[in-house]
Amino acid sequence: MLKKNHEYQGLLIVIEGTDGSGKSTQIELLKRYVEDLSYGTLISEWKTSTLIAQAIDEAKDRNLLNATTFSLLYAADFADRLENTIIPALKAGFVCLLDRYTYTAYARDVVRGHDYEWVKKLYNYAPKPDAVFYLDLPVETLLKRIIGTTGLDYWESGRDIGFSKDFYKSFQIYQTKILEEYEKMKNEYNFITIDGNQSKDIIHSKIISHMKSTFFN
pLDDT higher than 80, residue 3: no
CA–CA gap between residue 22 and residue 27 (Å, rounded): 9
21-53 per-position pLDDT tens digit:
999 999 999 999 999 999 999 999 999 999 999
Domain boundaries, the chain: 11-214
| Domain at 11-214, CATH homologous superfamily | P-loop containing nucleotide triphosphate hydrolases (3.40.50.300)
* Confidence (pLDDT) at 211: 96
62-71 per-position pLDDT tens digit:
888 899 999 9
* Confidence (pLDDT) at 153: 82
Bridge partners (DSSP) of residue 131 are 13
188-209: buried (b, 16+ CB within 10 Å) or exposed (e) per residue?
A: ebebbebebeeeeeebbebbee
User: What percentage of the chain carries pLDDT values higher than 90?
Assistant: 76
Q: Using 50, 70 and 90 to split pLDDT, how confident is the model at 126?
A: very high
CA–CA gap between residue 98 and residue 179 (Å, rounded): 19
Q: Using 50, 70 and 90 to split pLDDT, how confident is the model at 162?
A: confident
